[in-house]
């Protein structure tokens, strides 16, 4: 799966709930692909909108190495205590920022079999990933919770990157077209 990058519209969208009857073998195949994509990219979490699906689910693997699936998650409680932690995002490659969030969260969600589960007072990296991924489902990135100037610089940087990539792709297409035209002319002469 291709991971969407900052600037792509889907990353700012409010995602739609998953209908419980959608949780079948083909849905679980998508979850497996997401775990593969996350692990290949050295990530610890991946939300559906990051792979082009505007629905409310995410996968994660925290420091206990347990693969967890959260479908239609609801954060039901957050601790008053907050902490700063250096966050990265697969949709903002090569960047990171220290972000302040609640230390603990309680969450309820459906698992890959459509069964409800609850985690009370998750803490550490698990609590951090749950909040980061849940934000993705609401079109929120960590830079929206950090320094405003940092956010602006990141948006500019990735806008330029996307423009460069588009220019390169256009040049490549033009080169291919010109080569094809030459070959067609040559063939015409030969005939």
Q: Out of 59, 89, 126, 130, which residue is the one contacting Ni ion (CB under 5 A)?
A: 89
Residue 88 contact among ligand GNR, Ni ion, none, beta carbon within 5 to 8 Å by kind: ligand GNR
Residue 129 contact among ligand GNR, Ni ion, none, beta carbon within 5 to 8 Å by kind: ligand GNR
What are the structure tokens assigned to 149, written together? 């100037």
Nearest-5° angle of CA 84, CA 143, CA 105?
A: 45
43 or 73: whose CB is closer to ligand GNR?
A: 43
Beta bridge partners of 60: 45, 68
Stretch binding Ni ion (CB under 5 A), from 19-27, 72-80, 86-94, 169-177: 86-94
- Distance in angstroms (rounded) separating the CA atoms of residues 122 and 102: 11
Beta bridge partners of 169: none
- Distance in angstroms (rounded) separating the CA atoms of residues 73 and 129: 13
22 or 63: whose CB is closer to ligand GNR?
A: 63
Site residues (vs ligand GNR, CB under 6 A)? 43-47, 50, 87-91, 128-129, 132-133, 136
């Amino acid at each position: 799966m291709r991971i969407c990058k900052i600037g792509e519209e889907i990353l700012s969208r409010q995602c739609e709930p998953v209908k419980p009857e959608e949780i079948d073998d083909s849905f679980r195949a998508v979850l497996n692909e997401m775990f593969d994509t996350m692990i290949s990219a050295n990530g610890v979490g991946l939300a559906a909108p990051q792979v082009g699906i505007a629905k409310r689910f995410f996968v994660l693997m925290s420091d206990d190495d347990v693969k967890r699936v959260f479908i239609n998650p609801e954060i039901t409680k957050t601790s008053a205590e907050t902490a700063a932690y250096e966050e990265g995002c697969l949709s903002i490659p090569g960047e990171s920022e220290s972000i302040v969030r609640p230390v603990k969260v309680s969450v309820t969600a459906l698992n890959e079999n459509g069964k409800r589960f609850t985690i009370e007072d998750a803490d550490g990296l698990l609590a951090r990933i749950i909040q980061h991924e849940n934000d993705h489902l609401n079109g929120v990135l960590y830079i929206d919770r950090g320094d405003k100037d940092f956010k602006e610089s990141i948006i500019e940087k990735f806008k330029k990157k996307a423009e460069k990539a588009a220019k390169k792709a256009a040049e490549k297409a033009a080169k291919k077209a010109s080569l094809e035209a030459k070959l067609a002319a040559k063939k015409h002469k030969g005939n």
